[in-house]
């Protein structure tokens, strides 16, 4: 089963949908018989009562959407919060070594994250331009975890029960802006907050339950630019497990349905780590980035030229 938020052609109102076996999409509200204006509003219900949704989708005789009739938005269009962790050791070690830095001992002791901008998320097949002043646009291949049941001080041993499902994150990064601002000791901020691609859809945790053993989820991850394979990894290589990310994120604070948590970049999952000289340069106009995670799908992002700034007129 897959759940998504779409924008039908010639419409200004997003629609939450569920995938049908024939590749079409069904409006979620009609399928489950309750209001579903935003996906996060029905995640707790789906986790408790969604076992029959695939059967209902199979037998559905009502209207459907075809993918030629809409564009994908992020599954949760505006998550209440977006926390992005830094949890793959290979990525941390390699990226820091390229800057002449060691991995700080504290990294091994506690999973760290930053808050990114939940209002700048874009969906599958979106067009993204580098922010003004940047010449070093990068992709980052990450697993996205969507919270279904909220909670505070969630223990790691109960964390899986709070996960609604998974998606793919392309944490687009302007490396030159990021490098400058982080030299001050804060950030990342403007090097990250211009656009983050998320999608194409949400895959429920139950759909990958056979790949979860204890605290470890095992899904292959790959990244391609213009069809060329650049990144290969697995979620199983996380140093800090997903349950421990959730436990830390919820420490002394409430998590809410729809909250988005990123694992951070998998080893080899960005140009900064590979090296622009090996990757064919930073991302540029015309490039197509495809990030794939096993059992979830492919998130595609198209790089376009920056649009001239249009000042507001009174």
Residue range 261-303, pLDDT digits in tens = 999 999 999 999 999 999 999 999 999 999 999 999 999 999 9
Ordered by start, the domain boundaries in the chain are 3-73, 82-303
pLDDT (tens digit per residue) in 6-28: 999 989 999 999 999 999 999 99
Facing residues of 133 across strands?
Answer: none
Specify the pLDDT at position 183. Answer: 87
**H-only helix segments in the chain:** 28-32, 39-49, 53-59, 89-98, 105-109, 175-182, 242-249, 271-274, 276-279
> Does the pLDDT of residue 314 top 50, yes or no?
no
Radius of gyration of the chain (CA): 19
Residue 288 parent element (H or E): strand 288-293
Q: How confident is the model at residue 99 (pLDDT cuts 50, 70, 90)?
A: confident
Q: How confident is the model at residue 95 (pLDDT cuts 50, 70, 90)?
A: confident
Residue spans of beta strands (DSSP E) within 90-219 = 113-115, 121-122, 126-128, 137-138, 141-147, 151-152, 163-170, 173-174, 196-204, 212-213, 216-217
pLDDT (tens digit per residue) in 156-166: 999 999 999 99
No. of H helices and E strands in the chain? 9, 22
By residue count, the chain amounts to 314
Residue pair 139/291 in contact (Cβ under 8 Å)? The answer is yes
Please give the Cα distance from 109 to 240 (Å, whole number).
Answer: 9
> Does the pLDDT of residue 235 top 80, yes or no?
yes
Specify the pLDDT at position 224. Answer: 98
Specify the pLDDT at position 98. Answer: 83
Residue pair 58/20 in contact (Cβ under 8 Å)? The answer is yes
Specify the pLDDT at position 185. Answer: 85
**Can you state the percent helix, strand and coil of the chain, rounding each to 5?**
30, 30, 40
Q: Read off the pLDDT of each residue in 84-107 and give the average, rounded to a whole number.
A: 93
Q: Which CATH superfamily is domain 82-303 in?
A: Fumarylacetoacetase-like, C-terminal domain (3.90.850.10)
Mean pLDDT estimate for the chain: 95
Q: How confident is the model at residue 225 (pLDDT cuts 50, 70, 90)?
A: very high
Q: pTM of the predicted model, to two decimals?
A: 0.96
Specify the pLDDT at position 308. Answer: 67
**Cis before 188? omega within 30:** yes
């Amino acid at each position: 089963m897959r759940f998504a938020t779409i924008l039908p052609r010639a419409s200004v109102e997003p629609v939450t949908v569920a995938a049908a076996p024939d590749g079409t999409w069904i409006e979620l509200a009609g399928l489950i018989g309750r209001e579903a204006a935003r996906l996060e509003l029905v995640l707790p219900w789906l986790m408790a009562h969604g076992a029959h949704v695939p059967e209902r989708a199979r037998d559905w005789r009502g209207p459907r959407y075809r993918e030629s009739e809409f564009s994908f938005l992020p599954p949760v269009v505006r998550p209440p919060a977006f926390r992005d962790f830094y949890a793959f050791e290979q990525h941390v070690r390699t990226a820091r070594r390229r800057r002449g830095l060691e991995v700080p001992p504290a990294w091994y002791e506690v999973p760290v994250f930053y808050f990114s901008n939940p209002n700048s998320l874009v969906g599958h097949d979106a067009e993204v331009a580098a922010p003004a002043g940047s010449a070093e646009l990068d992709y980052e291949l990450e697993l996205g975890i969507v919270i279904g049941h909220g909670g505070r001080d969630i223990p790691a041993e109960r964390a899986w029960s709070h996960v609604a499902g998974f998606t793919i994150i392309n944490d687009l990064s302007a490396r030159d802006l990021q490098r400058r601002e982080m030299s001050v000791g804060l950030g990342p901020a403007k090097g990250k907050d211009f656009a983050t691609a998320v999608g194409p859809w949400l895959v429920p945790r139950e759909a990958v339950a056979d790949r979860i053993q204890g605290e470890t989820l095992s899904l292959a991850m790959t990244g391609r630019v213009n069809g060329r394979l650049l990144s290969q990894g697995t979620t199983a290589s996380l140093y800090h497990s997903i349950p421990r990310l959730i436990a830390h994120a919820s420490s002394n604070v409430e998590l809410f349905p729809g909250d988005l948590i990123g694992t951070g970049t998998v080893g080899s999952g960005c140009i900064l780590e590979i090296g622009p000289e090996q990757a064919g340069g930073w991302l540029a106009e015309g490039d197509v980035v495809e990030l794939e995670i096993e059992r979830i799908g492919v998130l595609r992002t198209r790089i376009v030229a920056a649009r001239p700034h249009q000042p507001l007129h009174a």
